[in-house]
C-alpha cells in the first residue's frame, strides 16, 4: 500500500492509503478527496482531476504523456508540476507522495 497526501488550497491535508495498481484519481475518489472531480471517470478526457505534484516527487511521478499534455490544455492554472491524477498509477515507489489540489478545477 502507498500513502498519498492531498493538500487542499486552504492547507488542510488528507492522507489516503492507496492500493498499487489503482490510479491516483481512483484512490482520491474512494477517499472522497475534495476537488478531484474526475468527470469523465478516468478516460483522460476532461482534465477535472488536475493536481500539482510536490517538487520532491516530480521525478518519480514522471512527465505527462502527449495525450495528457493535450488534455491539460483544458485545465486551469496549469504549471510545470501539473498532472492529471487519472494518468498517475499508484506504485509502492510512490509511498509518501504529496499532491496539491488546485483551487479551481473548472
Sheet containing 98-100, strands listed edge to edge, beginning at the edge strand earlier in sequence: 13-18, 2-7, 98-100, 50-53, 82-84
Task: Please select the residue that binds another protein; options are 10, 32, 73, 92, rule is CB under 8 A.
Answer: 73
Residue range at the interface with another protein (CB under 8 A); choices 15-23, 26-34, 37-45, 85-93: 37-45
Shortest separation between residue 46's beta carbon and another protein, angstroms: 7
Cross-strand partners of 15: 5
Residue range at the interface with another protein (CB under 8 A); choices 10-18, 53-61, 73-81, 88-96: 73-81
The answer to whether 104 contacts another protein (rule: CB under 8 A) is yes
Pairing of strands 13-18, 82-84: unpaired
Task: Please select the residue that binds another protein; options are 12, 15, 19, 39, rule is CB under 8 A.
Answer: 39
Amino acid at each position: 500500500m502507498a500513502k498519498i497526501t492531498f493538500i487542499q488550497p486552504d492547507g488542510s491535508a488528507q492522507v489516503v492509503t492507496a492500493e498499487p495498481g489503482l490510479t491516483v484519481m481512483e484512490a482520491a475518489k474512494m477517499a472522497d478527496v475534495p476537488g478531484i472531480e474526475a468527470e469523465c471517470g478516468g478516460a483522460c478526457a476532461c482534465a477535472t482531476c488536475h493536481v500539482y505534484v510536490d517538487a520532491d516527487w516530480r521525478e518519480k511521478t514522471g512527465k505527462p504523456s502527449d495525450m495528457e499534455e493535450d488534455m491539460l490544455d483544458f485545465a486551469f492554472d496549469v504549471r510545470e508540476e501539473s498532472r492529471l491524477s487519472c494518468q498517475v498509477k499508484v506504485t509502492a515507489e510512490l509511498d509518501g507522495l504529496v499532491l496539491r489540489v488546485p483551487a479551481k478545477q473548472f
